[in-house]
Structure 1
Amino acid sequence: MKFSKSALLTFAVAASASPTKRQSPGACPSPVRLDASTNVFRQYTLHPNSFYREEVELAVQQISDPSLAAKAAKVADIGTFLWLDTIKNIERLEPALQDVPCDHIFGLVVYDLPGRDCAAKASNGELKVGELNRYKTEFIDKIAEILKRYPNTAFAIVIEPDSLPNLVTNIDQTSCQQSASGYREGVAYALRQLNLPNVVMYLDAGHGGWLGWDSNLKPGAEELAKVYKNAGSPSQLRGIATNVAGWNAWDLTPGEFSRASDAQWNSCQNEKLYVEKFGAALRSAGMPNHAIIDTGRNGVQGLREEWGNWCNVNGAGFGIRPSANTGAELADAFVWVKPGGESDGTSDSSAVRYDSFCGKPDAFKPSPEAGQWHQAYFEMLVRNANPAL
């Protein structure tokens, strides 16, 4: 995902088996121990990571309108998760850990399963089905080694967006059938290896328009809970992440698609309802059920033709800023997981990774490949931010 930056690579330190502990100047004076039975976002502020900060600062330089540029510059100071979506991009992690103060928590997305995102083309990954050993040894193990070198820094990790939800709703597709065993074993391995004292983990659970359908709630919860238990019920798993890179409103009533012809079969018409109802199903299935909700791009509603449309939705705006003040017991925090301005997928129908969702009428065009910086889209998110920047 995202383009390379030589300035960051200059400072990159390759992950190794060395037990040497390295700390940034502002890190805590002693090892961090996160209590995953509590909401750690009440104690820590989501860190504005340096990788996204540089993307935003470069984007601001390209904006000629002074007023818009001033608003865009504020985005650099908003906490956002760093995505590790290839083995090579692990290089981005350690340089970004050099400026994390003690009262911040570093957001991290782990996203590189073999046969990744089996039901879409735009976000297909580097590892092929069957390359589970590479995922374990070259990806998860290397990330774990780095986290162990920074015991005085707090981390919040989102585990493999879209993976297990795809096994619930898209298992009829051959690609998802082929990926299923690798997904389950890979996610369980990630949960075990990243179960560290200074880490709190959230397992991706799609969103209310995906697993929120009445017929999906119980199977979805059981799928996630089974993997959690196969991982040994890791103590640092707090619950789930919802709406990652998504567009659903937190508490819009009636919901965006509440008047659709099939709305009667989905009682989760916003993410608040989804967190409550899916949370109850998770509790019954025996898994922790607190949640973080991605509000990075859901500031404007009523833009999509269908609930499942996910690619570079036209007219979108930045949403609620990261905060632990959600007003809901099961909702730990609003967070920005998806870095606003990085494309969901290309609108070029001749491209190998072209996905038809990126060509739909409600998708922004033109758009570059998934993960590449999308200047026009970023400026739109700034203009349409709600609350305003």
Structure 2
Amino acid sequence: MGEPVPRLGLRPLWSDPDSLARRQLAAYENSGRTDLADALRPLAQAPTATWFTGDAPRERARALTTAAAAAGALPVLVAYDVPGRDCGSFSAGGAADEDAYLAWVGELAAGIGDRPAVVVLEPDAVAAAVTGCRDLDARARLALLRRAVGVLTALPATHVYLDAGHPGWVRDLPALAGALRAAGVDRAAGFALNVSNVQPTDATVAYGRRLSRLLGGARFVVDTSRNGAGAPVATGRVEDWCNPPGRRIGRVPSTLTGVDVVDAWLWVKRPGESDGSCRPGEPAAGEWFEEYALALVGV
């Protein structure tokens, strides 16, 4: 007997042909810098998620999912526009209020339509509601996410994973499980772990298993984009999570995980794109960071 069909199906994950990493790879190739091109190629050609923030998302989501469907591939989208996003830190922003957010989610859903897609919903939003951040009404945040889950799961071929932070953040798993239930994880495909973080895969899976048991066997996906060297020693400083030095790319994205409760290894964070202007001279969040990208592949 062969391997069972993955929960997300047999389609390969979508690799954006116009990503910033692909553009950098092309620039190296065109300039004859074959050593750097060869080093960067595994990062540049891997499937990565596409992040959707404040701009009107409908047409962009339609173009992405249409291109992926035509290629027989499964795109991963990140919905990242919740009010009070990132607790006002380097990726601060988000919709102006709840009504604006739900309208935005509706536009994203309209763009996806009936085409297959994975949506990782609101990195950090649930974990921040558990640990607290300034001016955040946790109950209202979780209720809003539940409504967003309802909009997206009404689509016929969309798999929604609620972000749940990472093992280095929320230690109180019963509290996290309760927050995920309030946010609608029971209606979703499951939850996501380690988004934009660097916790080791084995530790993250163990953490996810414990959380899954508290949620009645919920399944999950793991961001492996930058965890190939594991997590740095925690210092409590911004270096722990914002363009953390000494990291490497991790497991290649795949829906064939070999782990019973893990639906996929994903590169949710696009490696090589900055977490933010964490230190002088570093690019803003989402911009290409050439030096950091090369460090992730050992250059």
Which bin holds the TM-score, normalised by the shorter protein?
0.7 to 0.9
RMSD of aligned Cα (Å): 2.3
1:143 aligns with 2:108: yes
In the other structure, the counterpart of 1:276 is 209
In the other structure, the counterpart of 1:44 is 11
| Change in 2 beyond 3 A, CA 1:321/1:293 | same
Match of 1:291 among 214, 220, 223: 220
Render the CA deviation track for 1:87-129: whole Å, top value 9, x for unaligned. 34555323333432464211011110111122x510111434x
**For residues 1-389 of structure 1, what are the structure 2 equivalents within 5 Å?**
39-52=6-19, 55-63=20-28, 65-88=33-56, 91-100=59-68, 101=70, 103-118=72-87, 120-128=88-96, 131-137=97-103, 139-148=104-113, 151=114, 153-170=115-132, 173-177=133-137, 180-195=138-153, 196-211=155-170, 213=171, 216-228=172-184, 233-234=186-187, 237-251=188-202, 270-283=203-216, 289-301=218-230, 303-306=232-235, 309-346=240-277, 358-359=278-279, 366-383=281-298
TM-score (structure 2 length as normaliser)? 0.88
SS of structure 1 residue aligned to 2:35:
helix
SS of structure 2 residue aligned to 1:114:
coil
Structure 1 position 51, deviation (Å): 4.3
Count of aligned positions: 288
What is the letter of the counterpart of residue 204 of structure 1? D
Mapped to 1, the partners of 2:231 and 2:166 lie a distance apart of 17
Structure 1 position 376, deviation (Å): 1.3
Higher CA-based Rg: 1
Render the CA deviation track for 1:151-208: whole Å, top value 9, x for unaligned. 2x310110111001111112xx43224xx34422321121111111111111101011
Structure 1 position 44, deviation (Å): 2.3
Contact 1:107–1:156 (8 Å) recurs in 2: yes
Render the CA deviation track for 1:261-301: whole Å, top value 9, x for unaligned. xxxxxxxxx11211111111122xxxx61010000111113
Mapped to 2, the partners of 1:103 and 1:62 lie a distance apart of 28
Contact 1:51–1:92 (8 Å) recurs in 2: no
Structure 1 position 246, deviation (Å): 0.8
Mapped to 1, the partners of 2:13 and 2:109 lie a distance apart of 20
SS of structure 2 residue aligned to 1:240:
strand
Mapped to 1, the partners of 2:250 and 2:134 lie a distance apart of 36
Contact 1:80–1:339 (8 Å) recurs in 2: yes
Render the CA deviation track for 1:334-368: whole Å, top value 9, x for unaligned. 1111111111110xxxxxxxxxxx34xxxxx6311
Mapped to 1, the partners of 2:224 and 2:283 lie a distance apart of 23
Percent identity for Structure 1 against Structure 2: 29
Structure 1 position 305, deviation (Å): 3.6
What is the letter of the counterpart of residue 189 of structure 2? R
What is the letter of the counterpart of residue 136 of structure 1? L
Unaligned runs of 5+ in 1: 1-37, 252-269, 347-357, 360-364, 385-389
TM-score (structure 1 length as normaliser)? 0.68
What is the letter of the counterpart of residue 182 of structure 2? K
